Structure 1
């Protein structure tokens, strides 16, 4: 069954019923998980963004205890992968994290191998999770941002033109915005507290009023969702969760569908997303229990 789950993960397909049954087995009898299988389970469940319904805490604790058992023998790379997988799901495995950070401070994690860049990216995400997913984290009053580039990719040109037509001016939104924690959003729009009026970016910058609503538009490829669904895979779910923590209402747009719209439909679509108060409630959960 573990090989089967691994194959589904490669396809990006979430077999929720099978994953639920297997999660039950893990919680009932975790002893059967050797280190190799534990790493596969962590990778599969995090990438496919699956947590068993109503048993989130028990599931995480079971996996965490299994991981702790293998800490004396786990390699540095596997430790990083395991912690990264749990962090993607929004769980901080404190003992394993401590071990990981000690190894990082001693310079033992990022050896000069083929995967150094990938490891750096994973470690960066782990550190972001430590801050943003900590119970003590509070929404910042101000988030430092910078416009990455005035050039808009061909992929986003249609969205930019639709926003200009809808809002009347380029100064009513920002594009290609770089945020802390190495996050990036395609377009940012700021609105009044009632989500009735779009504010010029300059005016919103001058106004430190916490009632200003920030909308983050992400134009997403199909591959970021589980196959055949709108269920975000792990990395997208984590990004969405973290943008929420930074004070953004996140609006996911399936880019392929958007590109197929007529210009008129594209404008109407964005209008609906921007002015619909209930379209994306701020408290929306991004790492989803099984559904």
Structure 2
């Protein structure tokens, strides 16, 4: 065939135009026209066409192969013929752009030996200046053949890092997905991606883009970046519909931020309930351990969907979870077990109607309560202040372990007349506390019924970790702890670090007056 038209029998769509002498096979118009016609061609017609284009240049062949790949003709006879041509001409290919396109196009029909030759050729051509997209295609090829090949991945990663102007949200999301499937991770790429996405948070306010941003940036963002994401989400959430958040895992990360950072979205209940309805209809999208994490973040926000709770606390589910935990990393394993415990505690305290048993006694005894914790200088100092206010050290307890294993900094009991009740069994001299260890043994904690009108007070000192970064906004977990302690019958006094460490409370008399007011204030 010389330049002009090539009749394609059986297509029902006429002719495919090929470039005439002097024309360009790379012309976008030519190849867009070709692609639209290839979509409607039968395999026999495509094979006939192949024999008419065998004399085309490698650039033209790569373009045609890409058209076929986009039409999902991965196993057609034509792809096999193209693979044979590439095999024959591989040594003459010196353009990584052409090679990368052909590699993707023939990835489904190549032999092991041909695959090895392609990898070697790609490694050879990736030296020097290489366009971002060509390196991306090489990584996509590795994903298609399900092969993690470090030499090529490292070279492609260096190209990505040299071309940060191409690292927009879509490309970062794609590359992270490819890396995850290939079991490849690079700290420098992760850091650059985090920096770039953090700088452009305000640019991604459309629902689909913002959901993708949460999905990619959320897991690696620090508290300050999460605060900014929540702020952007707050500004635009009124215009979002839950179904616009695409995928259940993306919705999970959005709920995670609202829950853990303790922010209410606009139309709070309606938003959470819509998300819950969508998520509980798609529980099969989640890995076993992800359902535990989902249950936890919803519990922090105060939501306990029956379908999810019954699934997580089913005996067969817990057996599958135990099996999955065996293959998870130690860090993730510890996090999942901790979240399961906290979810178990929250359900027992807030939803007794589910009749879920508390089954984490042994977990605490072997993991969290291995006997001792040191009384730090701040607690020693505050204990002395409380003793002075209440009339003796036996009126306050330090590092108290509650039912369901919350540890509170200080506990005291006031009767109906706001007079302190004594803990005679804990009549420990303050001087004896210095440098000693106290055991947290729940068996020794006898919670006797209080006299009528008396109530327990939990005094909690909150450090900077309890608040959003550079903010006085309380995070989700300290808020949940307060909620649960109140269910257990405590009046909870939370003392923020920025109040206790302020200049206003720099002297002992001022600290005494502050604590006295907080203890005796009307609930």
> Which TM-score band (shorter chain)?
0.7 to 0.9
Q: Deviations over 1:128-156 (max 9, x none)?
A: 1111122759xxxxxxxxx9869521232
Deviation of 1:96 after TM superposition, in Å, equals 1.7
CA distance in 1, matches of 2:479, 2:373: 27
The residue number in structure 1 matching 2:394 is 171
The residue number in structure 1 matching 2:403 is 180
1:124 to 2:341 alignment = yes
Deviation of 1:47 after TM superposition, in Å, equals 1.2
Match of 2:420 among 198, 212, 218: 198
Is residue 262–residue 476 contact of structure 2 (8 Å, CA) maintained in 1? yes
Q: Write 1 or 2 for the structure with the bigger share of helix.
A: 2
1:94 to 2:309 alignment = no
The residue number in structure 2 matching 1:265 is 510
Match of 1:70 among 282, 288, 291: 282
Is residue 177–residue 188 contact of structure 1 (8 Å, CA) maintained in 2? yes
Is residue 383–residue 396 contact of structure 2 (8 Å, CA) maintained in 1? no
The residue number in structure 2 matching 1:111 is 326
Deviation of 1:25 after TM superposition, in Å, equals 4.0
CA distance in 1, matches of 2:487, 2:230: 27
TM-score, normalised relative to structure 1: 0.80
The residue number in structure 1 matching 2:485 is 243
1:48 to 2:48 alignment = no
CA distance in 1, matches of 2:390, 2:373: 18
Deviation of 1:73 after TM superposition, in Å, equals 2.2
Is residue 226–residue 257 contact of structure 2 (8 Å, CA) maintained in 1? no
Change (3 A) 1:32 1:149: closer
Is residue 214–residue 248 contact of structure 1 (8 Å, CA) maintained in 2? yes
CA distance in 2, matches of 1:67, 1:150: 41
Change (3 A) 1:78 1:219: same
Count of aligned pairs: 266
Match of 1:33 among 221, 231, 246: 246
For structure 1, the residue ranges without an aligned partner over 5 or more in a row are 138-146, 282-291
CA distance in 2, matches of 1:15, 1:255: 25
Deviation of 1:79 after TM superposition, in Å, equals 1.6
Q: Deviations over 1:47-100 (max 9, x none)?
A: 1111235x3331221111121232112112222221111011111022122222
For structure 2, the residue ranges without an aligned partner over 5 or more in a row are 1-204, 355-368, 426-445
Q: Deviations over 1:95-117 (max 9, x none)?
A: 12222223214434533531222
Is residue 192–residue 211 contact of structure 1 (8 Å, CA) maintained in 2? yes
Higher CA-based Rg: 2
The residue number in structure 1 matching 2:378 is 155
Change (3 A) 1:44 1:192: same
> Secondary structure of 2:281's partner?
helix
CA distance in 2, matches of 1:48, 1:116: 23
Q: More relative contact order in 1 or in 2 (CA 8 Å, sep 6+)? A: 1
1:213 to 2:443 alignment = no
Is residue 461–residue 497 contact of structure 2 (8 Å, CA) maintained in 1? yes
